[in-house]
Chains A and B, each alone.
Chain A
Amino acid sequence: MIRARKPIVLVIGAVLLLTGVLSSCTREEEGGATRTTLRVGWSSEPDKLNPITSYSTEGHEVMALVYDKLVEYDTSLQAQPGLAESWTYSDDGLDITYNLRSGVTWHDGVPFTSADAKYTFDTIHEYELGEYSQWLVDMTDVETPDDTTLIIRFSRPQAFNPGLAIPILPEHVWGGMSKDEIRKFQNETPIGTGPYTFTEWKGGESLTIERNADWWGDPPAAQRIVYVLYSNEDVMSQALRAGEIDILTEVPPTIWDGLQGVENVKAVSLPSFSFHHIGFNVDTDPASLGNPLLLDPVIRQALNYAIDRSQLVELALAGHGQPGSVLIPQALGDWQLQIPPEQQMNADPDKANQMLEDAGYTDTDGDGVREASDGSPLEFRLIAIESTTVDVRAAELFVDAAAVVGIKLDLQTMDENTLGNTVYNTKDPDWDIFVWGWDSGVADPDYMLGIVLCSQIGGNNDVFYCDKQYDALYTKQATTVDQGARVPIVDQMQQMFYESGVYIVMWYQDKLQAYRTDTWENWTETPGGMVYNFTRDNYLQITPVA
């Protein structure tokens, strides 16, 4: 009997032995005098380290610390000096003169001069590179009277300072590359002027950057920043609890709720620069395979009235957001047009039914679905991204809401690439309605307003909306430097697009993040996020907890 216990004793013994031996090893890593490494947990990796062509948030996040811009956002998202110590607009508003810092060097020791900045702006403009070229459409000339002065000339005044968006590249590394070479450039060891130098990227594991001792600004406290990849968001939040990481970049709502009240962890909810929306195919090209009934604004507006956005926020988003209305998200503050609730096309199925009835869409055959005068039913295809669960939930609620007003929707889910390829098929778009979302590329209304321009068909424009009057207003606001004069134009555009009913902006989701309070402190809860935001200052301002 006693011998028979052996196997179990053996297993327990082996496990305990392993535990004992190895736990002593792990302890050592966490010791040390002062905290020097900031550990950031993310759930997806950069696509590449080329600051011009990278399209991932992760890529931009790292590149913002390796490369400097002429002008940077501070934690209140106001412009502050970057590589340019100051900048001035000419009286006619057509030229911007940047006074650059002297004595700045690239990470490889080569001095930085205005020639590098000129190279960057010229190249992006000439080759129409990435999303940056949109800020340089009106650029006519770049001049460098001396090593620390850069003058950019435009054909029209610029409301948005392009210095805020464009990372400055070293000409001695990038110069001589063709458009195609730049697009394909992997930039495996990025060389910038920024506060951190690139150290190592272990694909599938982690990415490390180190403090640049020669940086022009005040040296940040974190000597090293390590981005750790987690393949599961639950585990990522456990890693925060366990103290393996210091901050989470993005936290799903249910997990965020679970982090409330955890010792030494603060879960933060901030307004975001994003929205999720329902988009209608309003392509007027005869080649379009979308249902032509959606070209009638009455049907689109009726669908706007049919849906209850507060319910969407409660049920799909677990309450972590605000009901949507216009194109400009919450975090852009005063730029957002406030439409009084009673004037919003929202949560009024009776009104929707009335509108459809008045427009002659009646259910003639009694099957619960309305028909147009030619007998074609109000039945549309609805597509959503399968892995974006909030969108799928919202789509299901939308199907129910539409049924109430006699419109039938057939929901189909697919992966993001397929949906993107379907929606952005400019030749013969074969879809009716989708559910998707947008994040603003800059802390300025310009980006979101620019999505639905005629010229963006084939670019960002996902609904084929094209209104010359809207485009004219866009140009007007983009060239109005005075903010007081610009706001009414921006408001008018939001109102105009809202009334078209082409987008149902469902919600502005909150940015949910969480950090440890016992490792690093002095985080600023900036609208849009402490990390993954337009400002990098949180990385530069935090200090170790004594």
Chain B
Amino acid sequence: MFRASYLARKGGQLALTLFAVITFDFLLFRVLPGDPVRLIARAGHLSPEAAAQLRASFGLDHSLPIQYWYYLRNLFRGDFGFSITYSRPVIDILKERMLNTLILLGAATVLIVVLGIGIGVLAAARRGSRIDSGTVVSALVFWSLPTFWTGMILLFLLGVWLHAFPISGVETPGAVYTSAWDHFTDITSHLVLPTITLALVDIAQFILITRSSLVDVLTEDFILTAKAKGLPRRRVIWKHGFRNALLPVITASALYISLVVGGAIQVETVFSWPGMGRLTYDAVMRRDYPILEACFLIFAVTVIIANFMTDLLYQVLDPRVREA
């Protein structure tokens, strides 16, 4: 399916980009103005001995190349260092937060991609109808809603007023679960409001991209041919049309997935969902450099890998790309 030379070239580019990102991440946190030790210490008064000790414990007493070597070595061991604010290994914190983020954004992404594509295809199939224009207009309206505000409104309507769903956290604090199913439903109920918020605001891009891409394809000659052959409408749209309109949708999905890892900071904040977005935000506010360094790296690597995967998917899905 793939030519070896193509794979080698793409793989080489991937490795090079990853290396550049890792190096940039290392340098970024060492060229920041100000003495990191002062920031780590926080306290007003710092004796020279205490400062030297802190410097040593964070490996800041070595020269830059040596620090870089340690950094690379630790990275390969999965050691991201020690968080200043949480006083715990960064990797442990990342694991917890990443899981929460994946749960929330996984649910939202599936909902958004599936519903978004479905609605987009149906709107394109009825191009020019009232349903089509209605879909486009409401998609634009939802797209323009501020996430924070939408979350608050949903929280108030469904959480406080109707009392239908819990409004914060991943699970009921202090709850004792009698079974795994109990635990599962508790998490699911906490998922509802943040997921709906994300879906409402983010679904529009998938609807619009799917619709416009499919509308283009549906005017092509081969569609006319397919119709002329007397194929069922459904088959024409999905098999002939949608298959060919898929590429922009794949691109949008890949971009969305790379955003997912960064967390959805606004939704996480409104619904007190302890995910990557809030972790990053808190780390910025508290200047927790080890956490920030790890977060930046993960975000960058995810974007790079998601793009790499998209490139490969293109090859699978579209013979025209393969020839290029």
Interface residues as binary, B51-91 with A (CB distance below 8 Å gives 1, 0 otherwise): 00000000000000000000000000000000001111000
Minimum C-beta distance from A379 to chain B (A): 26
Partner of A7, one of B97, B118, B286: B118
Q: How far is the CB of A244 from chain B (nearest CB, A)?
A: 6
B44, A206: Cβ atoms under 8 Å? Answer: no
A79 within 8 A of B: no
**In the complex, which of the residues A26, A39, A231 contacts B278, with contact meaning CB atoms closer than 8 Å?**
A231
Q: Are A235 and B155 in contact (CB under 8 A)?
A: yes
Stretch at the interface among A342-350, A413-421, A487-495: A413-421
Tell which of A203, A224, A242, A243 touches B174, judged by Cβ atoms closer than 8 Å.
A224
Tell me the B172-205 residues at the A interface (CB within 8 Å).
172-175, 185-186, 188-189, 192, 196
A11-B115, A39-B173, A244-B167 are contacts. A235–B271 as well, Cβ < 8 Å? yes
Q: Out of B122, B129, B156, B169, which one reaches A6, CB within 8 Å?
A: B122
Known: A14-B115, A232-B269, A426-B45. A421 touches B38 (CB 8 A): yes
Contact B168 A204 (CB under 8 A): no
Q: Quick check: B44 and A424 within 8 Å, CB to CB? A: yes
Interface residue A208 (Cβ < 8 Å from any Cβ of B):
yes
CA of A48 to CA of B123, assembled, Å: 54
- Pair B272/A232 contact, Cβ less than 8 Å: yes
Contact B118 A39 (CB under 8 A): no
B287 touches A417 (CB 8 A): yes
Which residues of chain A in 207-224 are interfacial with respect to chain B, using CB atoms and an 8 Å cutoff? 208, 224
- A10 on interface, CB distance cutoff 8 Å: yes
State whether A5 and B167 are in contact (beta carbons under 8 Å apart), knowing that A228-B173, A421-B38 are contacts in the complex.
Answer: no
Are B38's CB and A206's CB within 8 A? Answer: no
**A111 interfacial contact with B, CB 8 Å:** no
Task: Please determine whether B39 and A232 come into contact, CB atoms closer than 8 angstroms.
Answer: no
Closest to B123 in A: A7
CA distance A426 to B119 in the complex (A): 64
Q: How far is the CB of A281 from chain B (nearest CB, A)?
A: 14
A15 touches B (CB below 8 Å): yes
A487 CB → nearest B CB, Å: 31
Number of A-B contacts (CB under 8 A): 143
Question: Which residue of A5, A224, A421 is within 8 Å of B44 (Cβ)?
Answer: A421
Residues of B close to A47: CB separation below 8 A: 85
A26 touches B169 (CB 8 A): no
Which of B9-17, B158-166, B212-220, B309-317 is found at the contact surface with chain A? B158-166
Report if B268 contacts A (CB, 8 A): yes
A53 to B272 CA separation, bound complex (whole angstroms): 27
User: With A206-B173, A242-B163 as given contacts, are A11 and B87 in contact (CB-CB < 8 Å)?
Assistant: no
Contacts of B188 in A (CB 8 A): 22, 25
How many B residues are at the interface, by size bracket? Answer: 35 or more
A residues less than 8 Å from B126 (CB atoms): 4
Evaluate contact between B44 and A420: CB separation under 8 angstroms: yes
Q: Closest CB-CB distance, B35 to chain A, in whole Å?
A: 9
Inter-chain CA distance A243–B165, complex, in Å, is 12
Q: How far is the CA of A18 from the CA of B43 in the complex (A)?
A: 50
Contact A205/B122 with A25-B185, A420-B42 known, Cβ cut-off 8 Å: no
Is B274 engaged at the interface, CB distance under 8 Å to the other chain?
yes
The smallest C-beta distance from B79 to any residue of chain A, in angstroms, reads 18
Cβ contact within 8 Å between A7 and B122: yes
* CB of A133 within 8 Å of the partner chain: no
| B135 contacts chain A at the CB level, 8 A cutoff | yes
8 closest Cβ contacts across the A-B interface? A424-B44, A204-B274, A226-B174, A206-B173, A25-B185, A458-B45, A4-B131, A226-B173
Given contacts A22-B165, A26-B164, 19 further A-B contacts (CB under 8 A): A4-B129, A7-B122, A7-B131, A25-B188, A26-B189, A29-B186, A39-B174, A47-B85, A48-B87, A203-B274, A204-B279, A235-B271, A244-B168, A387-B285, A417-B39, A424-B43, A426-B45, A459-B45, A462-B44
A-contacting residues of B (Cβ < 8 Å)? 38-39, 42-45, 85-88, 93, 96-97, 115, 118-119, 122-123, 126, 129, 131, 135, 152, 155-156, 158-160, 163-175, 185-186, 188-189, 192, 196, 268-272, 274, 278-279, 285-287
Q: Which A residues are within 8 Å of any B CB, using their own CB?
A: 4-7, 10-11, 14-15, 18-19, 22-23, 25-26, 29, 37, 39, 47-48, 186, 202-206, 208, 224, 226-232, 234-235, 238-239, 241-244, 387, 415, 417, 420-421, 423-426, 458-459, 462
